[in-house]
Homo-oligomer: A and B are copies of this chain.
Amino acid sequence: MPDAVVLLSGGLDSYTAAAIARAEGYRLFALTFRYGQRHAQELSAARAVAAALGVERHLEFDVDLSVFGGSSLTADQPVPKDRVLDAGGIPSTYVPARNTVFLSLALAWAESLGVHDIFIGVNALDYSGYPDCRPEFIAAFEHLASLATADGVAGAQVRVHAPLQHLSKADIIEQGCAFGLDYGLTHSCYDPTRDGRPCGRCDSCVLRAAGFARNGLSDPLLS
């Protein structure tokens, strides 16, 4: 049974990507970051998801990107609501170089474990605003990863799997439901209410709701 490091945010995408890795026969080493995000729901969702997946190990790692600033997700700035999602541009919720940092740390853990497979739940179709969700970024990181490591020098090929890359949010939810995933465990909202409920109006809530709707389902978090 091969091992894989999976990035697990507690959101719907990374839960589904991890479930795909498990279905492909990997034993999962889940990695969640406390990166200075404004709310802690993500972290408790990641714990619930990791338990539901039966991961081999779940590591929460501190890397406080809020020190650098530059994002409404890590600073005391308003999160945009009711946006036109296909208007182009990069939204203020973009966190500078976040996926580069997250994949680098996944690579560090993977190499320490002797693991050559990393799963990340990025998807480029329904949400093309973030530069570090694009296929060319993932390909460039995969190229870097083998050059960066002792395992790579010894001939191992590090693979960065992004199984959701070309799926719509509706496709992702359809796949997850086929696996029997409980999306009620997840958390996606960028700006939850004080009692932890989704705001329903940030980009993440809007995309998620549309994905459930296209499957003729309602989001278990809203019911």
Contacts and interface: CB of A to CB of B under 8 A. Distances in A.
A96 B70 contact: no
Interface stretch (A38-46, A58-66, A162-170, A176-184): A58-66
Contacts of A108: 65, 68, 70, 95-98, 100-101
A156 B44 CA distance: 38
A97 B31 CA distance: 16
Contacts of A105: 63, 97, 101
A76 interface: no
A168 B178 CA distance: 59
Nearest to A132: B148
Interface string A93-116: 011111111011101110110000
23 contacts: A59-B67, A62-B62, A62-B64, A63-B63, A68-B108, A68-B109, A70-B108, A96-B150, A97-B105, A97-B107, A97-B108, A97-B111, A100-B108, A100-B144, A101-B101, A103-B104, A104-B104, A131-B152, A132-B147, A137-B144, A140-B140, A140-B148, A143-B143
Interface string A137-167: 1001101110111101100000000000000
Number of copies: 2
Consensus secondary structure, chain A interface: helix
A81 interface: no
B104 A97 contact: yes
A112 B111 CA distance: 29
A136 interface: yes
Contact of A111 (B67, B96, B145, B148): B96
Contact of A96 (B65, B69, B100, B112): B112
A84 interface: no
B61 A96 contact: no
Contacts of A104: 97, 100-101, 103-104
